[in-house]
Structures are given as structure tokens and as C-alpha cells.
């Protein structure tokens, strides 16, 4: 079983990626991230040879590929959860369904310097990162084997990072994950019934209420969701209906960079927590894309995911989002 | 907002318990469990006054309630996620749905001694713990306000434990959680189509295949599920159709204690990992109970729940269940 495999639970809608190659990561099971103390960081400028060759880099025009001179660099994950080659076929072991694990797993290295947090990056640097996301989404969505692309960040060991150098990841999948499919189906059903988008209505509700809003720009709103799973959870959402991240215009990317950096810095002003963020964008195919409404969820990891969460699929949150939003809104930067 | 509140995400099927009282736990946000070094452990024999009064205890007949002499003790959670008093009413804030947080949150203290792991307990002690679960389930299911009862264990800080003294928890809810509802609906649909239980079929498949089985007793099977989310995940399941944990006979409880202790000790023989276990038993009301098939899932926490898992609802597992089962089967105890 050298290659990755996608397996479906026979009862509930839950796929698992069985990726035994990833257990070979040097620090797969350690509880802290690699520090800059002893070992060379493979994401720092000058260490380009420690990663697979780059698939995208924003760099000084006089510099060479896979050499210093870059601002943001995208490389294949050295220990991918999915393999990029091959056709997708279904393997069936009696009652069970599996797919061979074809997909794309990339790392977006967000700075040539050994920063530990995106909150340390300047606004233009954050904009470069978001621009790299858009570029890779545009390229990868042309592959008919992909049904969705997830972009996510693990920052801090407790949030799942194995390397501390500021980075995020992209995983293109041959399936639509449950969380995105549930959102997409709910949005499609709501549109069929009302001719309106449920997330557009949510933005209206939040703006009318105001208590959960952190800040707004011309095109975006940052708020703590009514049913926040985590203390200080933040949702960034376009105010106008917008199905997919890859359709963002340059001026929107720039505004989003401002909003994201503001959100991360405000959060850091309250608590220095490990965090994840995830981008939910329209599935690439299989569901009507136009009814989706993309958004970015910032998920601070102040509490543990424990037995209750695993047993139920639900969360316990000890900070009301109205309280979190007030603190995030009022903090002086 | 002193009382707990259950809030429903307006788009996906995801409830959140907003429980601000729980942030008052002395160690709510620390990253390690309370050690026996400095502070008194509220779960040790002699510290009974540090917990709310017991609702159940197996104890020496000559001993007094809330005093030493017990083997297993069940107490209300001092910082409950839900409140046990009051009627359930729905509060609607414009587009959003919430319930006031009425439920029951109890702690099962599994030993009077300061053990750190259930694997250290003797078989009779484990049987007492399972018997306490059954007793509390029988009592709590009579309350018409409850729709489900979750029993789960957090062992080790990374698995969400805030106290290290061996214990598990019970949470009775006014809703049926997504994971159990999805299972129940799939089982009901499969029965309607085939007149068979999908989990009974899975047991047959596993026994015919054999590669994922760890051990069997007369009534139970322990196996690594085909779509295991975690390395060394173990499922304990009755081989005969059995909807609910609370219907277990005494001799079955005793056999289950053997199987659970065997599973935990075999796991410990391979890796000393933080872990959760969760019991999925038939929802109390609202869905046909007879088609459910209860089971206990042991979820070792060797890997982190990171951005991918939160973005997708799926997991990446670096150890194939066939490999895990072989190791768990072959280990000498």
C-alpha cells in the first residue's frame, strides 16, 4: 500500500485519506514544530534545494527558479497526502468503496524569512500569498479529475503544523468534502425555494444586528459567526454574492489582504493562539457552482477537540461570539 | 448569557454549545493536565467534598455517600456544558435558531486511586465503570427532554482532558448529534431496502476477511475499521444486532470489560498515546431505535486535527488499518 487511497465509511458520509507515505515525515509524530535552533528550515531562502522544485514563485526578475530572490513560493508537498499522477479508479473490497488517491498537495511558503505567524507579514506580502492561491486554483481547476480544492493554514503545533516557518497548504481532491457539499446543497435548496443566497441573507442579518461584526471594508465583512465552534472564530466573507475565490479581481485581493491581516492582528492582540484558517470555495464540478458563496474561516485553537466533538460532530465553545466580536472590534492596534 | 445555549448553524447541520461557564474551569486553557505534584486532585478518594454530591457510587456497604469507600463514583460536572434544570424552549434571533442549553453533564470517576489511564485498571474495575454507564443511561433516558446521551472519555491533555485522574463523561442532549443521526438514518434506510442491518453486514464482512480483526469474544468483535480516521483506531461492536448500550445483560458487560481492557492494553503495548473513546448508542427518541447498532470507538490521538480536517470533515490517516490490526493482534501482552 505505497500509494495513497481514499476510503469511504460504509455507513456515514465520511472519506478518509489513507496516506502511509506521510508517516515518513521526519517529524510526523512530534508534539512541537521544528524550531530554528538545531535543524535547517527547508522553507527559508537559501534552502530551496530541500523542497521539490517550485510550481510557482513571485520573485525578483533577475533571480533564478529554485534559488533565493522570491517573496512567495509554491512547491509540491514532499510527503503528499495524495499522488498527482494516474487516473482515478474505484476499488471495491466486498462491501467497501475506495478510490486510489489521485490529487495534488502543495505548500505555499509565505515568506523567505523565518516568520512564525502570518500576523508578522506586511500587507503586500499577504496579498502575494492570496494571489498565489488564486493562481494555483485557476491552474488546478482545469484538471477534470479534481472535484474540489481546499486551501488551509496550520499555524502552531497544536493546530497541526509540523514546520513552524509560515506557510499554508492546498489539497485538490477527486471528491467534494462533506463540509463543502453540505453548504453547497443547503445554498442550492435555499435558492430554489427563495431565489436568494443564504449567505447573502446572513450578511444582511449580521449588518442589521451589528453585534458580531468586527470590521467591514467596501467588499468584505469580518464577523464572529452566530454558531462559532471556537472562541474568537472569525468569518471573512464577500458582501456581494461571489461563488469562487479564483474569480477575485486584483483590487478585491488587495482589500482581502487588508481584512485578513487586520483579523489576524486583532486576534493576536487578544491571545497568541495556534490557529487554522480554511477557504471554502465552490466545488469545481458536480454541483451548481453559481449558488455557492465563498468564505474564509479563521479558527483559533484555544480549546481541544475532545471526545464530545468526535462523538457528536458538534463543538463546545466557552466564549460567546458577541463577546469575542466586541473584543476584536474594540482592540487598539 | 450566564446559561448555556445550543445554537444551530444556519447553513449546515451543526449545533454548537455556547457554554461560557466552562471558561471558569481552573485549567480550561492550559495545555497540560493537572498533575498530582502541586494541587489536590478532586477525583481522589478523600477529596469527595471537592466535587458536587454523587448521583451514583459503587461503594463498600459500610461507607457513607460522598466519603471514601467507593470503587466508581458518578458526579455532576462542576462546570457543565449544559444545565440540568428548566424546560427547553427555542429562541429565534431573526434568521437564527437556538435552544436554551438544558441537558445533563456528569463525570464518571473510574477509580479512587490516582491512575492516569484506564489501561491500568483491573477487569472488575472496568466492568464497574461500564455498569455505571448503563445505570445512568437507564435513569436519564426517561427524561422526555433528552434526545440522546453521549458517553466519552478524554485521556491525556492532547485528547482534551483537563484532569488526569482516570475518568469519563456523559452528556445528555436535547438534540441528536449529527454523527449519530447520520448513522441512524443510514441504518434505517438500509433496513428498509434490504431488511438487514448495515453494521451486522459489516461484522460479517470483517469476519470473512479477517485482516482487520484484533480479537473476538463470544458476543463482541474488536477491529480496525476499513475507513479508520486515526492510526490504530479500534471499533468494539456486538456481533448480534443490539440497538442500545443500556440493554446489555450483566454477562455481556463483563465480556465487554474484557474486550475493552484487552484493546486498551494492546494499544498501550504499541504506543502510549492520548486517546478518546466514544459510545454510540441508539438515539432516545425521534428516530426508530430498533435499527440502530451500538458500538464503542477507541480513537488514539497520534496525529493532530488540523486545517484539512476542519475544512473538509474528513481525516488523513498515515497507518493503514490492516497494518494496525496486525500489530494489535500479534502483540504479546
Cβ within 8 Å, pair B227-A16: yes
User: What is the rounded (10 degree) CA torsion for B17, B304, B276, B268?
Assistant: -170
Measure Cα distances from A115 to A121, A193, A265, B277 in Å. 8, 48, 14, 37
Residue A48 has pLDDT above 60, yes or no: yes
- 3-class DSSP state for residue B103? coil
Complex-level ipTM beyond the 0.90 threshold: yes
pLDDT for A91 equals 66
Q: What angle do CA B88, B90, B94 make, to 5 degrees?
A: 165
With CB atoms and an 8 Å threshold, state whether A315 touches B29.
no
Cβ-defined contact of B314 to A178 (cutoff 8 Å): yes
**Residue B29: band (very low, low, confident or very high) from pLDDT cuts 50, 70, 90:** low
For residue A36, is pLDDT > 50?
no
- The 3 state secondary structure assigned to A148-209 is EEEEEEEECHHHCCCECCCEEEEEEECCCCHHHHHHHHHHHHHHHHHCCCHHHHHHHHHHHH
pLDDT tens profile B32-53: 555 545 679 999 999 999 999 9
Mean pLDDT score, B269-285: 96
Q: Residue A176: is it exposed, middle or buried by C-beta count within 10 angstroms (0-12/13-18/19+)?
A: buried
Q: Name all contacts of A208-213 with Cβ < 8 Å and 24+ positions apart.
A: A208/B94, A209/B93, A209/B94, A211/A322, A211/A325, A211/A326, A212/A321, A212/A322, A212/A325, A213/A325, A213/A329
Chain A contacts in chain B segment 193-252 (CB below 8 A):
198-199, 201-202, 205, 208-209, 225-229, 231
User: In sequence order, what are the residues at sequence separation of 6 or more whose Cβ sits closer than 8 angstroms to the Cβ of residue A93?
Assistant: B209, B226
**What's residue A212's pLDDT?**
97
Measure the CA–CA gap between B277 and B110, rounded to whole angstroms.
14
Q: Cα B45 from chain centroid?
A: 24
Of B221, B230, B297, the residue nearest B259 (C-alpha)? B221
Q: Which residue of B has its CA nearest to A188?
A: B11
Percent of chain B whose pLDDT exceeds 70: 92
* Stronger pLDDT, A221 or A3, i.e. the higher one: A221
d(CA A223, CA A203): 9
pLDDT greater than 70 at residue B193: yes
pLDDT recorded at residue A122:
97
pLDDT tens digits for B232-269?
Answer: 999 999 999 999 999 999 999 999 999 999 999 999 99
Measured between CA atoms, the residue of chain A closest to residue B157 is A304
Find the closest chain B residue to A273 by CA distance: B29
CA-CA distance, A197 to A237, in Å (whole number)?
Answer: 13
pLDDT at A28: 55
Cell numbers 486532585 correspond to: B41
Picking from A57-61, A98-102, A191-195, A233-237, which range would have the lowest pLDDT averaged per residue? A98-102
Query: Grid coordinates standing for A296?
Result: 474564509
Looking at every residue in chain B, the average pLDDT score rounds to 92
Mean pLDDT of A82-91: 71
Q: Residue B99's closest CA among B17, B196, B189?
A: B17
pLDDT at residue A37 in the model = 53
User: Torsion over CA of A319, A320, A321 and A326, rounded to 10 degrees?
Assistant: -90
SS3 of A326, please? helix
CB atoms within 10 A of CB B185: 16
Distance of alpha carbon A104 from alpha carbon B106, whole angstroms: 45
Integer distance in angstroms from the first to the last C-alpha of chain A? 51
CA-to-CA distance for B324 and A38, rounded, in angstroms? Answer: 33
Q: Which positions in chain B touch A186 (Cβ < 8 Å)? A: 11-12
Contact in structure between B296 and A142 (CB atoms under 8 Å): no
Calpha distance B223→B213 (Å, rounded): 4
Contacts of A278 (CB under 8 A, 6+ apart): A150, A151, A152, A153, A296, A297, A299, B307, B310, B311
**Sign of torsion over alpha carbons A329, B313, B324, A170:** negative
- Average pLDDT of chain A is 92
Checking if the pLDDT of B184 tops 80, the result is yes
Q: Residue B2 pLDDT > 60, yes or no?
A: no
Three-class DSSP category at B97: strand
The C-alpha cell 492561491 sits at A133
| Residue B1 DSSP label | -
Indicate whether A8 pLDDT > 80: yes
Q: pLDDT (tens digit, 9 = 90+) per residue, B279-325?
A: 999 999 878 899 999 999 999 999 999 999 999 999 999 999 999 99
Domains along chain A with CATH numbers: 5-176 (3.30.428.10), 179-330 (3.30.428.10)
Which residues from chain A sit within 8 angstroms of residue B96, using beta carbons?
205, 226-227
Nearest to A186, CA basis, from A172, A198, A174, A171: A198
The string of DSSP codes covering A85-154 is SS---EEEETTEEEEE-B-EEEEEE--SS--S-GGGS-HHHHHHHHHHHHHHHHHHTT-TT-SEEEEEEE
Residue of B nearest to A301 (CA): B306
Q: Determine the Cα–Cα distance for residues B184 and B298; give it in Å rounded to an integer.
A: 20
What are the φ/ψ torsions at residue B276 (nearest 5 degrees)? -120, 150
Q: Cell 487516473 appears where?
A: A87
Q: What is the pLDDT of residue A94?
A: 60
Asked if A312's CB is within 8 angstroms of B226's CB, the reply is: no
Q: Does A70 reach chain B within 8 Å, measured CB to CB? A: no
Q: Is the pLDDT of residue A1 over 50?
A: no
pLDDT at residue B1 is higher than 80: no
Residue environment code for A96-105, b if the CB has 16+ CB neighbours within 10 A, otherwise e: bbbbbbbbbb
CB atoms within 10 A of CB A24: 10
**Across-strand partners of A153?**
A277
Pairing of strands B213-216, B234-238: unpaired
d(CA B276, CA A85): 36
Distance in Å, alpha carbon of A60 to nearest chain B alpha carbon: 31
Q: Tell which of A226, A229, A232 to mutate to test the B interface (max B CBs under 10 Å).
A: A226
Report pLDDT for A32: 52
Q: What is the predicted pLDDT for the residue at A286?
A: 78
Question: Strand, helix or coil at B183?
Answer: helix
DSSP letter for A240, please: S
H helices of B214-278, in order, are 250-270
Give the C-alpha separation, B22 to B78, whole Å: 9
Which residues, in sequence order, are bridge partners of residue B152?
B169, B278
Which residues 97-156 of chain A have a CB within 8 Å of chain B?
150, 152-154
Mean pLDDT of A185-213: 96
What is the percentage of chain A residues whose pLDDT exceeds 70?
Answer: 92
SS3 assignment, position A297: strand
Mean pLDDT of A257-262: 98
Query: Looking at the complex, does the CB of residue A20 fall below 8 Å from at least one CB of chain B?
Result: yes
Write out chain B residues lying below 8 Å of A32, CB-based: none
If you measure CA to CA, which chain A residue comes closest to B204?
A95
pLDDT tens digits for B92-124? 666 788 888 889 999 999 999 999 999 999 999
Q: Residue B131 is inside which H or E element, if any? A: helix B123-140
Model confidence band, residue A231 (pLDDT cutoffs 50, 70, 90): very high
Which among A160, A226, A313 is the nearest to B7, CB-wise? Answer: A226
The shortest CB-CB distance from A308 to any of B171, B209, B313 is to: B171
Q: Would you state the pLDDT for residue A194? A: 96
Amino acid at each position: 500500500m505505497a500509494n495513497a487511497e481514499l476510503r469511504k465509511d460504509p455507513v456515514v458520509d465520511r472519506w478518509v485519506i489513507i496516506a502511509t507515505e506521510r508517516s515518513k515525515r521526519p517529524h510526523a509524530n512530534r508534539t512541537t514544530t521544528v524550531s530554528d535552533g538545531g535543524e535547517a528550515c527547508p522553507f527559508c531562502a537559501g534552502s530551496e534545494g530541500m523542497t521539490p522544485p517550485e510550481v510557482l514563485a513571485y520573485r525578483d526578475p533577475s533571480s533564478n527558479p529554485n534559488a533565493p530572490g522570491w517573496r512567495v513560493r509554491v512547491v509540491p508537498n514532499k510527503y503528499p497526502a495524495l499522488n498527482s499522477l494516474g487516473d482515478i479508479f474505484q476499488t471495491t473490497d466486498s462491501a467497501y468503496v475506495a478510490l486510489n488517491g489521485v490529487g495534488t498537495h502543495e505548500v505555499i511558503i509565505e515568506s523567505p524569512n523565518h516568520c512564525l505567524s502570518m500576523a508578522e507579514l506586511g500587507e503586500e506580502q499577504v496579498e502575494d500569498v492570496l494571489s498565489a492561491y488564486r493562481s494555483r486554483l485557476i491552474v488546478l481547476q482545469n484538471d477534470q479529475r479534481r472535484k474540489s480544492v481546499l486551501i488551509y493554514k496550520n499555524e502552531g503545533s497544536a493546530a497541526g503544523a509540523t514546520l513552524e516557518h509560515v506557510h499554508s497548504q492546498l489539497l485538490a481532491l477527486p471528491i467534494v468534502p462533506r463540509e463543502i457539499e453540505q453548504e453547497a446543497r443547503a445554498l442550492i435548496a435555499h435558492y430554489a425555494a427563495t431565489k436568494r443566497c443564504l449567505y447573502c441573507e446572513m450578511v444582511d442579518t449580521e449588518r442589521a444586528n451589528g453585534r458580531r461584526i468586527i470590521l467591514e471594508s467596501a467588499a468584505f465583512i469580518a464577523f464572529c459567526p452566530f454558531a462559532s465552534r471556537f472562541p474568537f472564530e472569525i468569518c471573512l466573507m464577500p458582501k456581494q454574492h461571489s461563488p469562487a475565490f479564483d474569480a477575485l479581481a486584483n483590487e478585491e485581493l488587495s482589500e482581502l489582504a487588508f481584512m485578513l491581516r487586520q483579523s489576524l492582528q486583532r486576534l493576536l492582540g487578544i491571545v497568541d493562539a495556534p490557529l487554522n484558517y480554511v477557504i471554502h470555495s465552490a466545488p469545481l464540478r458536480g454541483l451548481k457552482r453559481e449558488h455557492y458563496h465563498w468564505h474564509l474561516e479563521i479558527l483559533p485553537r484555544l480549546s481541544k477537540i475532545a471526545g464530545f466533538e468526535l462523538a457528536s460532530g458538534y463543538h463546545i465553545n466557552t466564549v460567546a461570539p458577541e463577546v469575542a466580536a466586541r473584543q476584536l472590534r474594540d482592540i487598539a492596534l
